[in-house]
Amino acid sequence: MNQFIDEVKIFIKAGDGGDGCVAFRREKYIAKGGPSGGDGGDGGSIVFVGDKSLKTLIDFHYKKHFKAEDGENGSGNNKKGKSGKDMIIPVPCGTVIKDEKGNVLFDIIKDKEKFLIAKGGKGGRGNFYFRSSTNQTPKIATLGEKGEEKWIKLELKLIADVGLVGYPNSGKSTLLAKVSKAKPKIDSYPFTTLTPCLGLVEIGDYRSFVMADIPGLIEGASKGKGLGFKFLKHIERTKMIVHLIDLSEHNVILRYNNIRKELFLYSKKLVEKEEIVVGNKIDLPESKKNIEELKKHFPQVYFISALTGEGVKELLETIWLKLNSGK
């Protein structure tokens, strides 16, 4: 399985333009042969394109320098140099392209969406270009322009309809594995899930949506504690939040409020997203004590067992209806 990489810094260099040529016609039967130096070819540009099959920036972790082809120099007989090929670089949908200072240059959202990040240099002019009635034997040509080059940052923000949030071990990975073909790592200790995981949830009648397991949110996540800070940005693109509460724990309302606080501290927009509150692990005897407490605290709350599947079908139907209520 590929390592999940969601932030990289790379160097890109578009191709240089080829130089123009100084040449003259040398045919035996043509007197006073005129200029025949051709123009140089243009350098290749660098273009990013969205690719829905990619889920990580892992390729840029191993290769950090990218250079497009240079244009060829012009030659005699007014032959223009061959232009360099553009370099097309596929990136996952959801990739934000930033300059070195962190300014957003472009945000690739859709499959096959393109962005020209570095333009190739123009080819130089050959002396044929400079011919005139007053200068029939120009001996000048221009050099090709340099292609654009720069360091840039790529940042991946997953694109999902629903983001699962909650404390470690609240059952997010178990739920995602239950309702999709995703295979997140599941175990009984905290921070089992070390990377965000996407899954396609299909609920019949050609209805589906994409759900993401956002790992590692704990108190202090917005300040870098635990794993949450690294992955909070992935919640920004979701349309809805499903907040899983582990009913077997103590102080469930406090734990809920802690997560909401971290979302707010990271970005006010996160707490403005529609949220479905879900109490998980109703199959455990120790969970019974918290069911009534959640009912008192929330006007609407859903109770499930991600492990056994109890209540999950009803939850998925509710998510689908809420996602599509504005369509």
Question: What domains does the chain contain, in order, with CATH numbers?
Answer: 7-156 (2.70.210.12), 162-324 (3.40.50.300)
Q: What percent of the chain has pLDDT over 90?
A: 62
Give the bridge partners for 1, in sequence order. Answer: none
Query: pLDDT tens digits, residue range 88-131?
Result: 999 999 899 999 999 999 999 999 999 999 999 999 999 999 99
> pLDDT at residue 192 above 50?
no
- Res. 9: pLDDT tops 70: yes
CB 87 within 8 A of CB 44: yes
Backbone angles phi, psi at 325, to 5 degrees: -65, -25
DSSP 167: S
- Give, to the nearest 10 degrees, the angle between helix 312-324 and helix 172-179: 80
- CA nearest to 115, candidates 103, 101, 105: 105
- Predicted confidence (pLDDT) per residue in 102-114, tens digit: 999 999 999 999 9
pLDDT for residue 86 is more than 80: yes
Q: What is the mean pLDDT of residues 14-23?
A: 97
**Looking at the predicted structure, is the pLDDT value of residue 222 above 80?**
no
Nearest to 43 by CA among 11, 76, 81, 78: 81
DSSP 44: P
For residues 151 and 97, the answer to whether their CB atoms sit within 8 Å is no
First to last CA, the chain: 36
For CA atoms 277, 212, 304, 244, the dihedral sign is negative
pLDDT value of position 218: 52
Across the chain, mean pLDDT equals: 87
Query: Given this model, what pLDDT does residue 191 score?
Result: 40
Q: Quick one: average pLDDT of 214-237?
A: 62
Place of tokens 């504005």: 326
